[in-house]
Amino acid sequence: MAAAIAVTAGVPAFAAPPALDSVAPDFALKAVDGRNVRLSEYRGEPVVLHFWAGWCGPCRESVAALDALGLSSGTPVLGVNLDGADRSAAVADSLHLKSPTLVDAQQTVARTYDVAKLPLTLLLDAEGHVRASWSGVPADLAELKPQLERLRLD
């Protein structure tokens, strides 16, 4: 279902997100609060990168859980929203998100990351390497939390 919706939204099908151990491509996007955020500026600490959209039910569930995880653990959680400038802010507001919601209205970053299914969650280490990913399903927090802990101790 999510894949079908993603195709209609203009995201290429049969694509694959960055492979494990590869370096996540750098990007800069505007956040809903007006700040510009660049991924590489978070080097030095683990980061959770999450692609989502408001029309995707599992995404909303996932982004809220990751936002709470970010708040409790102090880990930066960057949500890349694919809804569009105006809608991104409204959806982020309705979910009371505290972590940065980045607007990828043209889906340029989504294309760079070959997002074929939503939600897509990537766990990046301090050097920006992909250490775990969940595509088309909400991130499994039971798996993510211990991996994140290990990365924070490294």
Partner 1 sequence: MKPKLHPMLRVARLFTVFALLAAPLAAMPSEGDTANLQTVDQDVQALKKQLIDLNRDLFKLEEELLYPASTQVAVFLSVDVGTFFALDSVTLKVDDKEVANYLYTDREVQALHRGGVQKLYLGNLKAGSHEIVAFFTGKGPHERDYRRGTTLVVDKTVGAKYVELRISDREASLQPEFVVRQWE
Of 22 and 36, CB closest to partner 1: 36
Nearer to partner 1, 94 or 108 (CB): 108
- Does residue 24 touch partner 1 according to CB under 8 A? no
Question: Do the beta carbons of residue 34 and residue 28 sit within 8 Å?
Answer: no
Which residue, 37 or 69, is less far from partner 1 as judged by CB? Answer: 37
30 belongs to the binding site for partner 1 (CB under 8 A): yes
Strand, helix or coil for residue 59: helix
What are the CB-based long-range contacts (under 8 Å, 24+) for 140-146?
A: 141/65, 141/69, 144/48, 144/69, 145/69, 145/73
Distance (Å, whole) CA 77 – CA 145: 13
- Rule CB under 8 A: choose which of 35, 43, 98, 150 binds partner 1: 35
Among 12-20, 31-39, 60-68, 116-124, which window interacts with partner 1 (CB under 8 A)? 31-39
